[in-house]
């Protein structure tokens, strides 16, 4: 089922998520299925549970539609339940980001260039994985959502000031993305 995506200004986007109960597999499996359908219909490359109003540490990323730009993302789809960053590089990289919860706003964000993350996959297997390049960025962006942060929190103060009017309009519902949303 397609779920509405919560927009900038919604309280659920600012609340740290709780660990998902791995024993409640039926609920988690349904949530993941709904999140995948929602992500596909919104044409995004990542979605965290808080973006669909659920305060659990669950995220999905799908880089397969980006292979024309990043060929190394061929087959890169991940579901991460209760992800934890174990390590991050001291080297960083800056790249322009956008977000389904902040439609129409894009800004350069500096993040670690590599991370090592531990999580449970959608089959409830524990996985430890090292990520770099755009795969690393997608996961870090979604991890921020699980901690109640948005990419606009990480931009330079002058850039944030430049997009403040757009952010205010999104919070007031003055935006019309092509996907179902909720304030």
Provide φ and ψ at 21, rounded to 5°: -80, 105
Which phi-psi region, left, alpha or beta, contains residue 72 (left: φ > 0; alpha: ψ -120 to 50)?
alpha
Q: Are 94 and 108 in contact (CB under 8 A)?
A: yes
Q: Are 151 and 137 in contact (CB under 8 A)?
A: no
As annotated, the active-site residues are 142
């Amino acid at each position: 089922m397609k779920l509405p995506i919560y927009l900038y200004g919604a309280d659920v986007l600012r609340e740290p998520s709780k660990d998902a109960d791995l024993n409640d597999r039926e609920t988690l499996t349904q949530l993941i299925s709904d999140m995948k359908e929602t992500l596909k219909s919104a044409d995004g490359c990542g979605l965290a549970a808080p973006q669909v109003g659920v305060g659990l540490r669950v995220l999905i990323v799908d880089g397969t539609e980006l292979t024309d730009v990043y060929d190394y993302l061929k087959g890169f789809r991940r579901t991460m339940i209760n992800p934890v960053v174990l390590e991050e590089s001291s080297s960083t990289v800056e790249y322009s980001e956008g977000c389904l919860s902040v439609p129409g706003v894009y800004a350069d964000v500096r993040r670690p260039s590599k991370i090592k993350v531990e999580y449970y996959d959608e089959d409830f297997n524990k996985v430890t994985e090292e990520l770099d390049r755009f795969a690393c960025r997608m996961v870090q962006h979604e991890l921020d959502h699980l901690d109640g942060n948005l990419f606009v929190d990480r931009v330079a103060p002058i850039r944030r000031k430049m997009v403040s009017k757009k952010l205010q309009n999104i919070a007031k519902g003055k935006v019309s993305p092509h996907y179902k949303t909720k304030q």
